[in-house]
Amino acid sequence: MTDGNLSGFLVVSDAPEKAAEALRAAAVRFCTVDQNGKELTREEMTGECPQYMPNYVSDVHLTDLGPMILTDTKGELPKGMGEGMLRILVAELQAQEIAALVTTPPVDFALEDVPRIVL
């Protein structure tokens, strides 16, 4: 799903509650991924380098399709950033031994009245 500035990750799994927790853990980490896919430390986020990171990562939305999040990447999702986020999400799913399909939400998906887990 891309909507102007938003990109999304949808996790389809037979264990949606555990998948939601893995996605929540990944979402917290997404905020520190730069345009090259590197997960930056606090010390590296000084503002002195031209770092391109997401403006916003949503709470986890608990949809009928599976848990999902949206990220605001300022209108583009650099390949390195997308690969870095995917790597993080896969690592969080593997850490909890969750079999899942990671995909994007449908373009026309509406989030009205969808419950969420606050980060």
Which domains can be identified in the chain, with CATH numbers?
A: 2-112 (3.30.70)
For residues 35 and 67, give the distance between their C-alpha atoms in angstroms, rounded to a whole number: 25
pLDDT, mean over the chain: 86
Give me the mean pLDDT over the 86-94 stretch.
97
Neighbours of 89 (CB within 10 A): 23
Give me the mean pLDDT over the 81-97 stretch.
96
Does residue 1 carry a pLDDT above 60? Answer: no
Three-state DSSP class for 118? coil
19 within 8 A of 68, measured Cβ to Cβ: no
Entry field: residues in the chain:
119
Q: Collect all residues with Cβ–Cβ distance below 8 Å to 55 and sequence separation of at least 6.
A: 5, 72, 73, 74
Q: Over pLDDT 90: what percentage of the chain?
A: 54
